[in-house]
Chains A and B, each alone.
Chain A
Amino acid sequence: MEPVDILIVGSGASGAAAAWSLSRDSSLKIVCLEQGGITDPNKYPSTSHQWELTKQKSASFDPNIRANKADFPIDASDSPIALANYNGFGGSTILYSGHFPRFHPSDFAVKTLDGVADDWPLSYQDLAPFFTQNEKMMGIAGLVGDTAYPEYESLLPPVPLGAGGKRMAKAFNKLGWHWWPSYSAMNTHHHQDRPPCINLGPCNTGCPQGAKGSVDITYWPEAKKQGVEIRTECAVFDIVLDNKGRAKGVRYLDKKGIEYFQEAAVVLLAGSGIGTPRLLLNSKSPAYPDGLLNNNGLVGRNLMLHPLAYTEGVFEQNVNSSIGPHGCCILSQEFYESELKRDFVRGYTMQILRGTPPLEAAMSSYLTRRLPLGAKHHQAFSKIFNHNMGIAIISEDLPEWHNHIELDSEHCDSHGIPGIKVHYTMHENTKNMLKHGIERSKELFSASGAKVVSAFSPVKHAGWHLMGTARMGNDPKNSVVNQHGQAHAIDNLFIVDSSIFVTSGAVNPVATAQALTLKICEELRKNIKTLVRS
């Protein structure tokens, strides 16, 4: 197998952005290895009326339930939150909701501002041009002028609020709280050869229309045109070092289980906040007996998950809430920044969610004793379905050493590569934050005229946002990579995904992960000779 200039591991949000950015230099030979297969949008669950059943099985966001060949077991029995992901071409963007806000300026300086955790080795301003570039590539809808952010340059028109969203917007105004139409990876008009959203709802099982900006249809077509080779169903299990201690390439298994070695001048990891540390921990050698880059024991540590609280309200009137992109309606940053009078530092986002689809509405209301059986069933259901809205509280999760993942050799994937075990507890700060968020959510529903029917935290199956497990920083003693995403210990090994986040912010991380990737890759592309010794 011929050596390549750059080898990317993972084709998800960050891997795709990296492939596109790096391949703008046509002289670079780039290969991306993806452990999962390619999904066919024509076969996405929502092309069938049984899509809600598929969502609970083969399209589940829980890899233990989905159990595809590319999935690795995740034991979350020592965590109140189960992890979610998707292993396949396009990564978790295939199943994500498309909620796409940026981190805020304060998120990069929490130590300076609030005396907690650490500052990032870069600022919001450093990332600003890459946020803009990424939003253009991904097709982000929203509205400029948001008072919770420095100015955005341009966005596609916002996703419509719908009758339920309008009621929530009025409630925010009544309380004098910030709200803004969601930043959404949804085409609201024809953009980059993709059609507009037609307001169906089931974005979380893949968008067959191609309106949701998942990277298989945003970055990848361009990256392929620019010459990147993608090899799917190739599970990387070891990063190999040369006799000088530099990355020489990777070993991987194809779908038949045949082992290959791919040599590369630069290895770039984009396997997510759990996939990347899993690979590093599995790459053991005499120089790194506890896993590659793990001499300070940092790999897999400081796992941050964004614990969620959820509150559901039901309107007396039908607000057609099952229609439209479920996760993209309104967000509020009223309680995002620290305030002295509260019993927690940092803050949270309130994400307004549209109503649940029929089966989910029936099952959840039955199990919470709101939906009777018998003659009154349909009448009661008609007052829940299309009448309900949700509020998710996305809390900032501070990095803590004891929150970590480790290899689980007792539970391996289909190739015999170890799965992972998660050890995670919620900090008191987070618990207080979620409690505050639930109280404010109830207040908001009350102002909107909706009756609160459910409120709880943490949401168990909501560990989508996986961050911090190979953190970046200036000091090699307490970080794995530097501000260029370059491993402190190995100059031709880079990490670009959310595992390098220093802190978690309190918004969905994908916009920031991709902007960070674009920044790192532009620097790498332009300075490859000075950054990486030949």
Chain B
Amino acid sequence: MPIITQFLDAILPGDIALGAPSASELNIQASFKEQGLMVQMDELISFIEKVSLNEFNLFLGDINIEQYLFCVERAKRKKVRLANNLILHCFKVYYTHPQVLRGLSTGSVPPFPAGNTIESDDWLTLEDVFKRGPIFREVP
């Protein structure tokens, strides 16, 4: 799991100013196991480590976040389907998590007890349209 945590912290780190938690804080790690994605994850991380060894001559445990992200981007070029599948899985869990939704100003968060208010409109803005007159075709 620590290996997956490093991956998550690289791709979806937290942002305190924006109220966004990191993916690892939300325990997205567990979802890989639940969804049967561990084999794919192992394959991707092995490949990322291979890139790291090639580019920096360092194992994953020895590189910083920027270097890790660089390796992810390189890995994506070679294993685009595998990488995107796992990254999109992270998005799916992250962007449906109530803690994330509340931080995003999505308005009311499901199960939607309250709803949202939208300010009313001034329909005088339609005056220009109205002045131009009918635009539908009459049928003889």
Query: Quick one: CB contact mask for B4-26 with A, threshold 8 Å, 1 for yes?
Result: 00000011110100101000000
In the assembly, what is the distance between CA of A268 and CA of B48, in Å? 61
Contact of A373 among B72, B128, B135 (CB under 8 A): B72
**Judging by beta carbons under 8 Å apart, are B116 and A198 in contact?**
yes
Query: Quick one: CB contact mask for A355-373 with B, threshold 8 Å, 1 for yes?
Result: 0011100110011000001
B87 at the interface (CB under 8 A from A): yes
CB distance from A122 to the nearest CB of B (A): 12
A426 at the interface (CB under 8 A from B): no
Query: Quick one: CB contact mask for A334-349 with B, threshold 8 Å, 1 for yes?
Result: 1011000000000000
CB distance from B19 to the nearest CB of A (A): 9
In the assembly, what is the distance between CA of A324 and CA of B117, in Å? 9
Chain B residues lying within 8 Å of A170, measured Cβ to Cβ, are 125
Contact of B92 among A53, A178, A180, A320 (CB under 8 A): A53
**Judging by beta carbons under 8 Å apart, are A173 and B125 in contact?**
yes
Query: Quick one: CB contact mask for B93-107 with A, threshold 8 Å, 1 for yes?
Result: 011111011001111
In the assembly, what is the distance between CA of A31 and CA of B12, in Å? 55
B34 at the interface (CB under 8 A from A): no
Contact of B106 among A113, A322, A379 (CB under 8 A): A322
* Interface majority SS (helix, strand, loop, mixed), chain B: loop
Chain A residues lying within 8 Å of B100, measured Cβ to Cβ, are 358
- Of all chain B residues, the one with the shortest Cβ separation from A151 is B134
A51 at the interface (CB under 8 A from B): yes
Given A49-B109, A324-B118: A385 and B91 interface contact (C-beta under 8 Å)? no
**Judging by beta carbons under 8 Å apart, are A105 and B137 in contact?**
yes
**Docked complex: A26-56 residues within 8 A CB-CB of B:** 46-53
CB distance from A387 to the nearest CB of B (A): 11
Contact of B140 among A112, A173, A374 (CB under 8 A): A112
- Of all chain B residues, the one with the shortest Cβ separation from A150 is B136
**Judging by beta carbons under 8 Å apart, are B92 and A359 in contact?**
yes
B114 at the interface (CB under 8 A from A): yes
CB distance from A375 to the nearest CB of B (A): 6
CB distance from A54 to the nearest CB of B (A): 9
Chain A residues lying within 8 Å of B73, measured Cβ to Cβ, are 373
Chain A residues lying within 8 Å of B84, measured Cβ to Cβ, are 367
* Interface majority SS (helix, strand, loop, mixed), chain A: loop
**Judging by beta carbons under 8 Å apart, are A169 and B13 in contact?**
no
B133 at the interface (CB under 8 A from A): yes
Chain A residues lying within 8 Å of B111, measured Cβ to Cβ, are 46-49
In the assembly, what is the distance between CA of A113 and CA of B138, in Å? 10
Given A320-B107, A367-B84: A106 and B91 interface contact (C-beta under 8 Å)? no
Contact of B112 among A112, A176, A198 (CB under 8 A): A198
**Judging by beta carbons under 8 Å apart, are B139 and A46 in contact?**
no
Chain A residues lying within 8 Å of B136, measured Cβ to Cβ, are 104-106, 147-150, 333, 336-337
- Of all chain A residues, the one with the shortest Cβ separation from B21 is A378
**Judging by beta carbons under 8 Å apart, are B96 and A52 in contact?**
yes
**Judging by beta carbons under 8 Å apart, are A373 and B69 in contact?**
yes
**Judging by beta carbons under 8 Å apart, are A147 and B129 in contact?**
yes
In the assembly, what is the distance between CA of A198 and CA of B113, in Å? 10
Given A147-B133, A148-B135, A179-B129: A386 and B95 interface contact (C-beta under 8 Å)? no
**Judging by beta carbons under 8 Å apart, are A145 and B130 in contact?**
yes
A123 at the interface (CB under 8 A from B): yes
**Judging by beta carbons under 8 Å apart, are A363 and B91 in contact?**
yes
CB distance from B124 to the nearest CB of A (A): 11
**Judging by beta carbons under 8 Å apart, are B132 and A147 in contact?**
yes
**Judging by beta carbons under 8 Å apart, are A160 and B119 in contact?**
yes
**Docked complex: B64-87 residues within 8 A CB-CB of A:** 65-66, 69, 72-73, 84, 87
B126 at the interface (CB under 8 A from A): yes
A124 at the interface (CB under 8 A from B): yes
A453 at the interface (CB under 8 A from B): no
Chain A residues lying within 8 Å of B140, measured Cβ to Cβ, are 112
Chain B residues lying within 8 Å of A24, measured Cβ to Cβ, are none
Contact of A50 among B15, B96, B135 (CB under 8 A): B96
In the assembly, what is the distance between CA of A221 and CA of B91, in Å? 41
Query: Quick one: CB contact mask for A401-438 with B, threshold 8 Å, 1 for yes?
Result: 00000000000000000000000000000000000000
In the assembly, what is the distance between CA of A320 and CA of B104, in Å? 11
A377 at the interface (CB under 8 A from B): yes
CB distance from A352 to the nearest CB of B (A): 14
B1 at the interface (CB under 8 A from A): no
Chain A residues lying within 8 Å of B104, measured Cβ to Cβ, are 358, 385-386
In the assembly, what is the distance between CA of A337 and CA of B138, in Å? 11
Chain B residues lying within 8 Å of A379, measured Cβ to Cβ, are 15, 18
Given A112-B140, A123-B139: A366 and B108 interface contact (C-beta under 8 Å)? no
A166 at the interface (CB under 8 A from B): yes
In the assembly, what is the distance between CA of A108 and CA of B139, in Å? 9
- Of all chain A residues, the one with the shortest Cβ separation from B72 is A373
B39 at the interface (CB under 8 A from A): no
**Judging by beta carbons under 8 Å apart, are B139 and A105 in contact?**
yes
A394 at the interface (CB under 8 A from B): no
CB distance from A53 to the nearest CB of B (A): 6
- Of all chain B residues, the one with the shortest Cβ separation from A105 is B139
**Judging by beta carbons under 8 Å apart, are B11 and A359 in contact?**
no
Question: Can you list 27 pairs linking A and B with CB atoms under 8 Å apart?
Answer: A46-B111, A46-B112, A47-B111, A49-B109, A51-B96, A52-B95, A52-B96, A104-B136, A105-B136, A106-B139, A112-B139, A143-B126, A148-B135, A161-B118, A178-B132, A320-B105, A320-B107, A322-B107, A333-B136, A334-B135, A358-B95, A367-B84, A373-B69, A374-B65, A375-B13, A377-B13, A386-B105
Known: A49-B97, A166-B125, A374-B10. 16 other contacts (CB 8 A): A49-B109, A51-B96, A143-B126, A147-B136, A148-B135, A172-B129, A181-B123, A198-B114, A199-B118, A318-B105, A323-B107, A323-B118, A333-B136, A358-B101, A366-B88, A382-B18
Instruction: Give residues in B with beta carbon < 8 Å to A.
Output: 10-13, 15, 18, 20, 65-66, 69, 72-73, 84, 87-88, 91-92, 94-98, 100-101, 104-112, 114-121, 123, 125-126, 128-130, 132-140
A-B complex: 4 closest residue pairs judged by Cβ atoms:
A198-B115, A378-B15, A160-B118, A359-B95
